[in-house]
């Protein structure tokens, strides 16, 4: 989701995700091709995160599969970007962010 805060600081992530996972639309098509009746809904939510919380999460790279995909140089560059922004705000100031939730329900057609 391009509006997620991680992508602002780690711009390499979207390309890595496209390589390693299928989009909801691709999953939808695969299920249809396998004779499933498919219903898909997607909703986008504005979900800001506190700058302090974002920095804490970003520093816990070992617990984040998405951050582990980055090479060390890209990770450290992104972390420095975030740290620089955090300096300009209080820890509780909100960093704009969006998430997208996709729900796919399928049933085998007879």
Please give the DSSP secondary-structure letter assigned to residue 20: H
Q: Where are the alpha helices (DSSP H) in 21-109?
A: 24-33, 51-59, 65-68, 72-87
pLDDT in tens, the chain (110 residues): 578 999 999 999 988 877 767 888 889 999 999 999 999 999 999 999 999 999 999 999 999 988 999 999 999 999 999 999 999 888 889 999 999 999 999 999 77
Sign of CA dihedral 73, 78, 84, 90: negative
- The pair of three-digit structure tokens given for residue 70, joined into one six-digit string: 């980055």
DSSP label at residue 81: H
What DSSP state is assigned to residue 89?
A: S
Q: Is the pTM of this model over 0.85?
A: no
């Amino acid at each position: 989701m391009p509006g997620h805060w991680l992508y602002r600081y780690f711009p390499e992530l979207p390309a890595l995700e496209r390589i390693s996972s299928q989009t909801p639309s691709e999953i939808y098509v695969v299920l249809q091709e396998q004779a499933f009746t498919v219903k898909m809904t997607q909703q986008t939510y504005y979900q800001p995160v506190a700058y302090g919380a974002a920095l804490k999460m970003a520093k816990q790279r070992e617990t984040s599969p998405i951050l582990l995909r980055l090479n060390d140089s890209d990770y450290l560059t992104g972390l420095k970007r975030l740290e620089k922004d955090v300096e300009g705000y209080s820890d509780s100031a909100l960093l704009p962010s969006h998430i997208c939730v996709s729900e796919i329900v399928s049933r085998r057609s007879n």
